[in-house]
Amino acid sequence: MPLVVNIRHLAKHNLRLQGQLPVSELDIDGRDEMIQLRQPLKHDLEVERLEDAILAQGHLRLTLDCLCVRCLKPVRYDLDLADWTCLLPLSGEEKVAVVNDCVDLTPHVREDILLAFPQHPLCKPGCGGLLPKTSKAQPVSDKSQDKDASSPWTKLDKLKF
């Protein structure tokens, strides 16, 4: 069930939303092949009505299952938005959609979660990446000779214009 708030309930008092939101409601999975969501979003939010807006603020936590972009090892990344705040105007050009006196907070939560995703998840800051495989049949030779012989620029350097 998405994070939906009834505006009429906010007229009397603030609402507290605590619980978990399934990953399927967030519609995030599959956007990045290096980041997978398998655990629900944990939320603890307080929602209040201002004059012409709704203010939602609180804590959002989500555990991401990532792959290190350098060595492809699995990594857990804890996404923690401790002071999440969202102001939703009820009038003007940027007013939020109100359906049956209800406002859905889910798209706004999704947007901020996507912005907080790690751009390049790493298993550790100094990850060296995948180790090169050496063939047992060939002896390891001087790297400078291999670099010159196997360089695609070698043949281009021989061209004369």
Distance CA 4, CA 11 (A): 15
Q: Structural domain boundaries of the chain? A: 4-116
If phi > 0 it is left, if psi is from -120 to 50 it is alpha, else beta; for residue 12 that is alpha
- Tokens linked to 143: 């790297």
Distance CA 102, CA 98 (A): 5
94-114 confidence digits (pLDDT tens): 999 999 999 999 999 999 999
Distance CA 105, CA 15 (A): 13
- What pLDDT shows up at residue 147? 52
- What pLDDT shows up at residue 156? 80
30-46 confidence digits (pLDDT tens): 668 889 988 999 999 99
